[in-house]
């Protein structure tokens, strides 16, 4: 009995391939159409290049990605939606930012514009808070240095004075050009487009078309078999 079952399965499988072979032109036609469509889409799709850079982010890293997605007051909002900010592992304030463009140069320019929007428009309240904080700290450092020079304070460790002067210089530099996101590396743009990918799209079109063609062929065979059964039942 098991042999009969195996034999029937083999016959059914052979019959299936025979029916598919009879419908081969439908399968080949659909496959050719979807493959050609995929090639056409990849040819017409505008090229996209990616620019990326490592940035130092001050205290607001979790907020940046969400803020740039909902920002609506600039012509670059579509680019901002595609901008990606990824935290760097084992670092609290370092991240990688990625932005797209239709050429390597435009991708770089878009990244620079995104940084400008983040620094100048997205976090105005946060910027004001940091300005006041650093101004207060700068006044404290200036009073401390003044007291040291007047002899009111005596510091036996010269490195502490150097640290104060270094901190003062850094704060003054930041106040001259306040930024929440600071470039920590050069901006690198991809020399090859990240989209479209003709080989990938063509492969997807070919595989999709082949399976769709087989499906259509099987449906047509099922309809044909159904009609024959109905005709036989009428006799």
- Per-residue pLDDT of 46-89, as tens digits, reads 889 999 998 888 666 667 767 776 776 666 677 777 788 888 88
Query: 90-97: which pairs have CB atoms within 8 A and are 24 or more residues apart?
Result: 93/56, 93/57, 93/58, 93/59, 93/61, 94/54, 94/55, 94/56, 94/57, 94/184, 95/54, 95/55, 95/57, 95/61, 95/64, 96/52, 96/53, 96/54, 96/55, 97/52, 97/53, 97/55, 97/181
pLDDT at position 93 over 70: yes
pTM of the model: 0.63
Q: What pLDDT does residue 114 have? A: 86
1 band by pLDDT with thresholds 50, 70 and 90: very low
pLDDT at position 153 over 90: no
SS3 for 197-211, per residue?
CHHHHHHHHHHHHHH
pLDDT at position 39 over 50: yes
pLDDT at position 17 over 80: yes
Asked if 122 contacts 179 with a C-beta cutoff of 8 angstroms, the reply is no
Q: Identify the sign of the CA torsion 80, 81, 82, 86.
A: positive
């Amino acid at each position: 009995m098991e042999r009969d079952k195996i034999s029937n399965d083999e016959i059914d499988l052979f019959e299936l391939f025979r029916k598919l072979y009879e419908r081969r032109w439908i399968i080949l036609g659909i496959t050719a159409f979807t493959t050609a469509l995929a090639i056409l889409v990849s040819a017409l799709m505008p090229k996209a290049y990616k620019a990326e850079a490592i940035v130092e982010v001050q205290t607001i890293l979790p907020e940046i990605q969400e803020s740039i997605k909902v920002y609506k007051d600039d012509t670059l909002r579509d680019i901002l939606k595609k901008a990606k900010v990824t935290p760097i592992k084992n670092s609290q304030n370092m991240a990688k930012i990625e932005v797209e463009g239709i050429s390597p140069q435009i991708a770089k320019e878009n990244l620079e514009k995104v940084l400008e929007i983040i620094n100048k428009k997205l976090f105005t309240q946060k910027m004001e808070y940091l300005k006041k904080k650093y101004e207060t700290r700068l006044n404290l450092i200036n009073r401390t240095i003044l007291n040291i020079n007047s002899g009111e304070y005596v510091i036996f460790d010269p490195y502490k004075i150097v640290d104060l002067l270094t901190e003062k210089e850094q704060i003054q530099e930041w106040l001259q050009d306040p930024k929440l996101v600071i470039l920590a590396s050069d901006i690198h743009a991809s020399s090859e487009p990240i989209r479209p990918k003709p080989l990938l799209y063509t492969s997807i079109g070919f595989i999709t078309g082949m399976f769709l063609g087989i499906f259509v062929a099987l449906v047509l065979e099922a309809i044909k078999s159904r009609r024959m059964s109905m005709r036989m039942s009428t006799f």
